[in-house]
Amino acid sequence: MPKAKTTSPELMAASSDGEPAKPEKDRKFVEALSRGLDVLRAFSQGSVILGNQDIARITGLPKPTISRMTYTLTKLGYLSYNTQLEKYQLSSGVLALGYAYVSNLKVRQLAKPYMDEFARHNNMSIGLTCRDRLHMIYVENRLPPETSLLRMDIGKRLPLATTSAGRAYYCAISDKGRKVIDDAMAIKYGSEAWPQKKEGLDRAMEDYKQYGFCLSLGEWDRNINSAGVPVHLQDGTIMALTCAAPSYLVPAEKLRDSIAHQLAMLASDIESLGV
């Protein structure tokens, strides 16, 4: 049987460091494991419950392969099967892995008091995010006292192209890494939508080179203004800080002229903690 090709741009995208997810002709690369993880990633595409046919469509893998993968992942506790709907959903095994990652993330613990002070001082939510393919994921989110504005739970995913967090990450990686992301997003968005997304990313690059931060002014959500800056960890990992608020509370001018600069200084302070 010829090797099936993964067609979803989400699953073709680069790994967390911006390099290709699977080097060609890599003898150490375990194809079966990769496919199993692709099955789990399919549940991050929007629907929380999927059948084998849905997963096959998202991943581009043959349905017989999907059937074996979902059976195995169910046996291992990473998926659960709904007998009434005859579909699968993520199970507690996945939650345990995610919790282990977040709870052991040193930068998250050390940055909390700094983020709390920023949120209180500027009356904005502030989040720490990491990259997953063509999205950014919240690993921490702090809010001003006595407010529920823009509450983003840990694990919330944001599109990379249109959010300030994603743009900050994009601007901080290598040219090679950006090229990999560009290629994947060109497939994801298509010839009609991609040029506009790329224009926003190019504009973010100009802002980052000049000011050290990126903005998203109503481009992810028309009612939300946000700023983002990269955070470089000692192990080479790049994360992103992002602050956001409704545009009626924080207009673009205030964000660009004052708050975004404070966010860039906060990122520098966090980097100086030696994490």
Q: What is the pLDDT of residues 177-212, one digit of tens each?
A: 999 999 999 999 999 999 999 999 999 999 999 999
Q: b/e per residue, 255-269, with b = 16+ CB within 10 A?
A: bbeebbbbbbebbee
pLDDT of amino acid 2: 41
Cα-to-chain-centroid distance, residue 135: 3
pLDDT of amino acid 28: 87
Is the confidence at residue 15, as pLDDT, over 80?
A: no
Q: What is the pLDDT of residues 74-102, one digit of tens each?
A: 999 999 999 999 999 999 888 788 777 77
Q: What class has domain 9-96? A: mainly alpha
Instruction: Select the CATH number that applies to the domain covering 105-271 from these four: 3.50.50.60, 3.40.190.10, 3.30.450.40, 3.40.640.10.
Output: 3.30.450.40
Q: What is the mean pLDDT of residues 159-177?
A: 96
Least confident of 2-16, 187-201, 233-247: 2-16
Q: What is the pLDDT of residues 111-132, one digit of tens each?
A: 999 999 999 999 899 999 999 8
pTM of the model: 0.78
Is the confidence at residue 72, as pLDDT, over 80?
A: yes
Q: What is the mean pLDDT of residues 229-234?
A: 95
Q: Which two tokens stand for residue 47?
A: 């629907």
Q: What is the pLDDT of residues 18-61, one digit of tens each?
A: 444 555 567 888 999 999 999 998 988 767 899 999 999 999 99
Measured CA to CA, the distance from residue 172 to residue 157 in angstroms comes to: 19
Sorted by sequence, the CB contacts under 8 Å of residue 29 that are 6+ apart come out as 22, 23
What ranges do the domains of the chain cover? 9-96, 105-271
